[in-house]
Chains A and B, each alone.
Chain A
Amino acid sequence: MDRDVFIARVAARRRLSAAEGDVPLPSPVVPPGVAASRAEPGAGQPPAAPPGATGPAAGPAGGPTDDRDRLLELFAARLREAGGEAARVSDRGQAQAAVVALARERGWTGVSCAPSLRWPALDDLWTEDPRCADFGLSEAEWGIAETGSVVLRHHGDRGRGHSLLPPVVGFVLPASRVVPRPGDVLGRLHGAAASLPACVTFVTGPSHSGDIAGVMCYGVHGPAEVRVWLIDDE
């Protein structure tokens, strides 16, 4: 059907109910209690700044750092409840070492990741094709404490397959980029609408389904195991 005709038809129909008056979009769009908690410092400012712009949350008298620790603990606990694993490492080097150790322990022969994330230590295992990898590694943009989710922006060489096709997947996530709630990430995406990539993915724990007689099965189509390394100094 012609677009203008379609939209005109919808407009004509919905005008029938417009007599009731306009229905405003709620503002704020979240319940008042939640909105208040978000007004706390550092919690939900729509940011626009690209990754890496903020340093570690350092503050006087340890206050903000305690908040940060609590947030990271919550993130790890919620991810564990969703069936994933989170570990804190001091820097990228430690994360690298952890991945290499895991690869040795499991006897992996192929690790896939974006070329930009290809660490020298992984050279002999690296493959660009996630379809035949034992493990896929991705760089996460944000973490969400309330749900234990990592958020990925897929653009350029940061492919979607690395976090989807291998049976085990891992993410590196700068600890400073963990936010309290899903809305904090949505607010950032709202602010950065102009630079939205073709695909943004929220990943929370392994792929799962209860479709077989109500029994929880992991790794139904996607990975059965999810690991997140939180990097403290980023």
Chain B
Amino acid sequence: MRRPVDSPRAAAAPTARASGVRPWRAPAADTPRTRFDAVARATVADRPLHEWLDNYQAVQQGWHKWAHDDLGEAEAWRDTVAAVRRHTLAHLDRYLAEFAANVERAGGHVFFAADAEEAREYVAGVARRKGVRRVVKAKSMVSEEIGLDAALAATGAEVTETDLGAYIAQLAGERPYHITGPAVHMRLPRIREILSRAAGEELPEEPDALAGSARRTLRDRFLTADLGVSGANFGVASTGTVVLVTNEGNGRMTTTLPWTHVVVMGMERLVPDWRSLEPLLVMLPRAGTGERITSYVSAITGPRREGDADGPEELHVVIVDNGRSRILGTKYQPVLQCIRCGSCADFCPVYRTMGGHAYDSVYTGPIGAVLAPLLDGLEGRGHLPFASTLCGACDDACPARVPLSDLLLELRADVAAGAAGPSPDASAAPSTVPASGAESTMWAFGFKGFAAVATRRRLWDAALCVASGLRPILGSARGRDAGRHAASRLETAASGRSRLLRGPGVVRAWTDARDLPLPAPASFARLWRRRPRAGSPTSSGPGQKGR
């Protein structure tokens, strides 16, 4: 049996040491940046986890492609999704007013929360007023974002996540790893351990048996809960309807069984009417889980009506701003087009490599790298936009055409511009960006110097000669470093090309994370000048002049 994998954060230091990866910088202070380094490094070093995430993405990508081929005209559908989202954002104030009025017309209560605290206070107030003792939650990203669980627990209520993945993550005390799959990183032995502990008995290592145990525990919670908290995938403005898209049925339980139902939703989650809901409902499951539709789509308009057999007696809809209006009207507005399918993370090579916990945010993957800095501020999250290769895989995967790599680039520019001045949290600035005035001068000098050399032919040739001359030093140098660290390591491929796996001195800062191909023994220009001429006496090339 495999050893259970500990949470990346807890395992960070030992794993990094065991694998021989030298930490970039001793994590002196616990800042978002040092946490990012530790978690990302641990994931990179954890080969079984790596293979697991590789496989997870490959499977998801397969289903994603299947679902899009099955639909046909997927690109046109993406256009209409984007158009509906853009239109809604362009008229958001009008649709917010319409939505709220219609929720109230249907008998629901609406609360507008400017920030997380207001939202928490309101929901905790409902729980207190109703004397709530048991809360069941259907997976809601916004409720995670605003830290609702702690606020509800502070009222004395027992809070249970009921999405199977979210339940497992809650039992393990972890943040969600992925927007649609909170526990995608966990393998069977670990899940068995977590659920066995919760059930108080040794469960077999079989998915069906484990799901069955969770079902029994959670069914009891559903039947005895006084308050159900859900998110909202969409809010239909024309009728004040909250639409939930779920697979397990926990969303339906949460919105049917308890006497009170609280919806916590981001203010941008609206659509104008039922017709414009269609492209979103068609594309969300296909992009999210690669299915034609989820098992359940629930459309809730107000609390139960007179004479209804079941449903909650009271419905509260909490519409949360919490930084969203700051994004509105800026170049970052397109990020609000997101419909939270998580497919950007399913295609992102950086997510696959450093894992979901490195984002240290509710929102993971490329959307998290954009949204977390915008919602939480650049100070503590400025490193996230650099956690991207800008390959554009997320752009191609996004059903709502959020231009993720453009936004990441914009954020990098903002971080760099901001870092030129005094930074409130210098240690949080990413290593690839100047953090202090002195470093910034060095950067400017370095780039100017490079430009000077690269734009002058003779200087460039001379530099290449020097680089070739460094080959033996780079390849075998043991220098004064040798005493403290292992020697440089060189790998020569069958083709004869060499790359440095572990460099001496300052070069190691680069080779710790990347390979360094050695400079070629002779530049292409030089080889061209010296190329053999046999068999073509008439040919004349640029080499002629050189001779």
Contact = CB atoms under 8 A, between A and B. Distances in A.
B463 to A, nearest CB: 47
Contact of A221 (B219, B239, B304, B329): B219
B57 to A, nearest CB: 11
Contact of B165 (A78, A157, A164, A211): A211
A204 B296 CA distance: 6
B196 interface: no
A29 B275 CA distance: 7
A30 interface: yes
B165 A26 contact: no
B275 A203 contact: no
Which of A1, A155, A209: most chain B Cβ within 10 A?
A209
A159 B309 contact: yes
A204 B96 contact: no
B253 interface: yes
Given A29-B279, A210-B181, 8 more contacts: A14-B329, A17-B329, A23-B86, A212-B210, A220-B211, A220-B248, A221-B253, A222-B253
13 contacts: A7-B93, A9-B325, A10-B93, A10-B96, A10-B328, A15-B329, A22-B90, A25-B276, A29-B276, A193-B239, A201-B299, A220-B249, A222-B252
A211 B239 contact: no
A222 B403 CA distance: 37
Across chains A and B, which 5 residue pairs bring their CB atoms closest together, nearest first? A222-B249, A16-B329, A159-B309, A31-B76, A211-B165
Interface of B: 56, 59, 72-73, 76-77, 79-80, 83-84, 86-87, 89-93, 96-97, 100, 106, 110, 112-114, 118, 162-165, 168, 181-184, 186-188, 191, 207-208, 210-211, 214-215, 218-219, 222-223, 238-239, 241, 247-250, 252-253, 255-256, 267, 272-279, 281-282, 289, 292-305, 307-311, 319, 321, 325-326, 328-330, 333
A contact patch SS: loop
Contact of B298 (A14, A183, A199): A199
A50 to B, nearest CB: 17
A58 interface: no
Contacts of B328: 10, 13-14, 16-17
Interface stretch (A62-70, A90-98, A101-109, A184-192): A184-192
Contacts of B223: 131
A199 B279 contact: no
Given A34-B73, A208-B247, A214 B184 contact: yes
Which of A6, A9, A146, A223: most chain B Cβ within 10 A?
A6
Contact of B100 (A3, A158, A219): A3
Contact of B207 (A1, A149, A199, A213): A213
A24 interface: yes
Contacts of B321: 1, 6, 9-10
A212 B296 CA distance: 19
B300 A204 contact: no
A215 to B, nearest CB: 4
Interface of A: 1-3, 6-11, 13-18, 22-26, 29-34, 78, 82, 114, 131, 146-149, 154-161, 164, 182-183, 186-187, 189-190, 193, 196-215, 217, 219-223
Contacts of A197: 301, 305, 308
A14 B296 contact: no
A215 B276 CA distance: 34
A149 B325 CA distance: 37
A211 B181 contact: yes
A17 B337 CA distance: 14
A208 B59 CA distance: 17
Given A6-B321, A149-B293, A199 B84 contact: no
Given A23-B83, A203-B296, A29 B248 contact: no
Contact of A11 (B59, B93, B247, B319): B93
Which of B250, B296, B325: most chain A Cβ within 10 A?
B296
B87 A146 contact: no
A33 B308 contact: no
A33 B162 contact: no
B274 A198 contact: no
A190 B299 contact: no
Contacts of A157: 307, 309
B301 A196 contact: yes
Nearest to A8: B93
B373 to A, nearest CB: 18
A1 B300 CA distance: 24
A106 B311 CA distance: 30
Given A23-B87, A211-B183, A10 B301 contact: no
Contacts of A154: 308-311
B106 A198 contact: yes
Given A207-B248, A211-B183, A220 B311 contact: no
B119 to A, nearest CB: 10
Contacts of A201: 252, 296-299
B298 A17 contact: no
B191 A147 contact: no
A171 B527 CA distance: 77
A198 B214 contact: no
Nearest to A192: B274
A220 B166 CA distance: 13
A155 B302 CA distance: 12
Nearest to B325: A13
Contacts of B300: 198-199
A160 to B, nearest CB: 5
Contacts of A221: 162, 215, 218-219, 222, 248-250, 253
B113 A208 contact: no
Nearest to A206: B295
Nearest to B183: A211
A32 B92 CA distance: 26
A91 B279 CA distance: 35
A160 B256 contact: yes
Contacts of B276: 25, 29
A107 B154 CA distance: 47
Which of A24, A187, A204: most chain B Cβ within 10 A?
A204
Which of B73, B164, B183, B274: most chain A Cβ within 10 A?
B274
A131 B168 CA distance: 25
A18 B123 CA distance: 34
B92 A14 contact: yes
A6 to B, nearest CB: 4
A202 B181 CA distance: 22
A218 B52 CA distance: 23
